Amino acid sequence: DGGITQSPKYLFRKEGQNVTLSCEQNLNHDAMYWYRQDPGQGLRLIYYSQIVNDFQKGDIAEGYSVSREKKESFPLTVTSAQKNPTAFYLCASSQTSGSFDEQYFGPGTRLTVT
């Protein structure tokens, strides 16, 4: 069963706590991405990684951190510095980071911080 998995599907945290969202892919893709989706808005890029041990900030990286120690894994940590962390988080991967490469999305994690 190939694809991208994200866990957990729903996550609840208290304000001030850091939380890590998991993203795993078995598609042998080099590039991986994290997006945030809020109601009525388009997806916004948080971080992306074109290759293992390398990652770049996206448009809204403040308050988030990532690591890419393995090709198949790209976890996202939402820190207490993120002012409004409640959102739907989507992980994606593509063969490379080329303009025509299809991005395949995971099922998402809905994070609620109270």
Residues 41-80, one symbol each (x = binds another protein by CB under 8 A, - = not), give xxxxx--x-x-----x------------------------
Among 7, 53, 107, 112, binds another protein (CB under 8 A): 107
CB of 105 vs another protein, minimal distance in Å: 3
Number of residues that bind another protein (CB under 8 A): 28
Nearest to 108 by CA among 79, 76, 83: 76
CA atoms within 13 A on the CB side of 82: 26
* Residue 4: closest CA among 36, 34, 46: 34
